[in-house]
Amino acid sequence: MTAGLNRLPGFDDARILVVDDNIANTSLLDQVLSRAGLGSVVTCNDSREMTTLLLDGRPDVILLDLHMPHVNGFELLEVITRHAAGEFLPVLVITADTGREAVHRALRLGAHDFLTKPFDVTEVTLRVGNLLRTRWAYLELRRERSRLQDHLDILEVNSVGTEDSWDVRRARIENVLTLGGPRMVFQPVVDLRDGRTIGYEALARFDDEPIRGPNHWFAEADEVGLGPELEVQAVQTALSHLPRLAPDQLLGINLSPATILADWRAGLGADVPWERVVVELTEHFLIEDYRAIQLAVESFRELGAMLSVDDTGAGFASLRHILDLAPDYVKLDITLCRGIDRDPARRALASALVSFTRETNSVLVAEGIETATERVTLSDLGVQYGQGYLLGRPAPLPGLRN
């Protein structure tokens, strides 16, 4: 039985949380599961402590009693569901209550499996093993899906212009510009400590044919000589929504080096509150003349704007952008945040960047946070801010129709 559990990757590090007010039950389960080769079993006899243990212990499976003093199991299932935030976090309910109503209620609230007391220790071990295998498969599927999406994004950008002529592609971009450019959606940037939204990143979305991602549209615009024009139109649309944000919230706008160097701000008027704008310079573009970019960035800073280096760790420039441009914010790329809770190398790199940004008076922002355990790990490492599907998907601002 022990060998069977240990054959799957990651089971030595599996984290099990057992919540039951009966000390004899938690002691027995701790002994049984530890002998089965599971790496870490944490027991909790006071249900009021479970929320803290969820954050600190980051369990892979939870064993839960239903009828406990202070906070009962049904209430805890609701807490677990909120904590999981859409992630598969399996819960095995172990209870003496065999009533159908209790079973149905627990399942509706998010329980994944059920055992009645007195329990058979072999059955408990097998059921926990099955839930761990399912969670491992779920996490692997998510990682594989993300890797596939990254690959598709690369193929999409590399396929720009392979079918249509230059004239057709330029006409397509000109049509987008004539119609007012892309619509904008906004993804929140959140304080990982208290969940407060400190600002939003403005992201372009295209509804024109052919249906494809924004990277493809901007790449095509660059190829036909209209890249800065398309970016400027997107930025103008984004800035027009800035008054809809709270007075203390920031707005991030994405600019390539070519557009940062272009002279276009005069057309915006004098009423842009630049002190609330963060210019995000993506690391995917190669900078040939850092001195020119430094001067252009300084002109933005003279207006009050701040600078963020986007996609740190993913592009051509590596760390040179943040060394030569001294940004106010450094964004840790999604590929370095994904699975950071299970990858010592990613944690080491993030920790080093936390120290670096502290020494250089900049702030590290984690991108692409998708799971509660990634969020907790990044926060524990000292990353202050983050964004990603777990914290909020790109969407129109409340009350806007765009």
pLDDT at 400: 43
- CA dist 293 and 324 (Å) reads 10
pLDDT at 241: 93
Is residue 44 domain-resident?
Answer: yes
pLDDT at 305: 96
pLDDT at 257: 86
- How many domains does the structure of the chain reveal? 2
Q: Is the same domain home to 118 and 169?
A: no
- CA dist 324 and 360 (Å) reads 12
Give CA 233 to chain center in angstroms.
27
- Is the pLDDT score of 398 beyond 80? no
Is residue 401 domain-resident?
Answer: no
- CA dist 101 and 97 (Å) reads 9
Is residue 219 domain-resident?
Answer: yes
Q: Is the same domain home to 36 and 94?
A: yes
Q: Is the same domain home to 122 and 169?
A: no
pLDDT at 283: 56
> What backbone phi and psi angles, to 5 degrees, belong to 287?
-100, 120
pLDDT, average across residues 200-221: 89
Q: Cβ neighbours of residue 339 under 8 Å, at least 6 residues apart? A: 139, 143, 346, 374
Is residue 400 domain-resident?
Answer: no
Which residue, among 5, 232, 21, 231, has the nearest Cα to 135 in the 3D structure? 5
Q: Is the same domain home to 133 and 170?
A: no
Q: By three-state DSSP, how is residue 331 classified?
A: strand
pLDDT at 316: 45
pLDDT at 185: 93
- Look up residue 261 and give its two tokens: 């160097």
Is residue 94 domain-resident?
Answer: yes
Residues forming beta bridges with residue 191, ordered by sequence position: 385
Taking CA 242 as the corner, what is the angle to CA 239 and CA 248, rounded to the nearest 5 degrees?
Answer: 135
pLDDT at 1: 40
Ranges of H-type helices in 86-197: 100-108, 121-158, 166-178
pLDDT, average across residues 263-284: 82
Is residue 149 domain-resident?
Answer: no
Q: Is the same domain home to 173 and 107?
A: no
- CA dist 184 and 228 (Å) reads 17
> What backbone phi and psi angles, to 5 degrees, belong to 25?
-65, -45
pTM score over 0.85: no
1-21 in b/e form (b: 16+ CB < 10 A) is eeeebeeeeebeebbbbbbbb
Q: Read out DSSP for 280-332?
A: EEETTSPPS-HHHHHHHHHHHHHHT-EEEEEEETTSTTTTHHHHHH--SEEEE
- Is the pLDDT score of 215 beyond 80? yes
CATH of the domain at 16: 3.40.50.2300
Q: By three-state DSSP, how is residue 361 classified?
A: coil
- Is the pLDDT score of 318 beyond 80? no
> What backbone phi and psi angles, to 5 degrees, belong to 364?
-90, 130
Is residue 145 domain-resident?
Answer: no
Write down the mean pLDDT value for the chain: 85
Q: Is the same domain home to 226 and 108?
A: no
pLDDT tens digit sequence for 47-57: 999 888 887 76
- CA dist 208 and 241 (Å) reads 22
Q: Is the same domain home to 210 and 103?
A: no
- Is the pLDDT score of 388 beyond 50? yes
Q: Is the same domain home to 250 and 375?
A: yes
Taking CA 11 as the corner, what is the angle to CA 9 and CA 17, rounded to the nearest 5 degrees?
Answer: 150
Q: Cβ neighbours of residue 165 under 8 Å, at least 6 residues apart? A: none
Which residue, among 255, 250, 209, has the nearest Cα to 232 in the 3D structure? 255
Q: Count other Cβ atoms within 10 Å, centred on residue 130.
A: 15
Is residue 392 domain-resident?
Answer: no
Q: Is the same domain home to 186 and 114?
A: no
- Is the pLDDT score of 402 beyond 50? no
Q: Is the same domain home to 171 and 303?
A: yes
pLDDT tens digit sequence for 28-73: 999 988 888 876 899 999 999 988 888 776 788 999 999 999 999 9
Give CA 235 to chain center in angstroms.
23
Sole residue written with tokens 């609330």: 276
- Is the pLDDT score of 22 beyond 90? yes
pLDDT at 2: 41
Q: Is the same domain home to 33 and 174?
A: no
CATH of the domain at 180: 3.20.20.450
pLDDT tens digit sequence for 284-313: 566 778 889 899 999 999 999 999 988 765
Range of the domain at 283: 165-386
Q: Which of 85-99, 139-153, 260-274, 335-349 has the lowest mean pLDDT?
A: 139-153
Q: Is the same domain home to 249 and 358?
A: yes
- Is the pLDDT score of 9 beyond 50? no
pLDDT at 170: 94
Query: CB–CB of 396/185 below 8 Å?
Result: yes
